[in-house]
Amino acid sequence: MTPQETPRTSRLETILGAMATGVILLSVICILLTFFAPTLAGSAAPIVESIPLIGLPIGMLLLVGLTVATIVRRRREQS
């Protein structure tokens, strides 16, 4: 039997995955805070409400970048 090679992920893929997870998770937490804590302390409320408006599109772009990086790596490995 030949030992199977474990798929090696690049540093770029690891960083993009971690960044996407962090940004999307922060956005979801802020959405939940907006729903369950409507009496959020005065000046913090607009900031907490606006984070998902910026974070979710950035998270989606990071996921697209991760997908492109993975496709490019797999095509290079096949060649």
pLDDT of the residue at 1: 46
pLDDT of the residue at 2: 56
Two tokens at 48? 């907490």
CA–CA dist 37, 30 (Å, integer): 10
Span 36-71, pLDDT tens digits:
777 766 777 788 889 999 999 999 999 999 999 999
CA–CA dist 31, 7 (Å, integer): 36
Contact 69, 12 (CB under 8 A): yes
Query: Taking the model in full, what pTM does it have?
Result: 0.81
Residue ranges of domains in the chain: 11-78
Q: Where are the alpha helices (DSSP H) in 1-79?
A: 11-36, 45-78
Q: Is the model's pLDDT at 15 over the cut of 50?
A: yes
Contact 59, 27 (CB under 8 A): yes
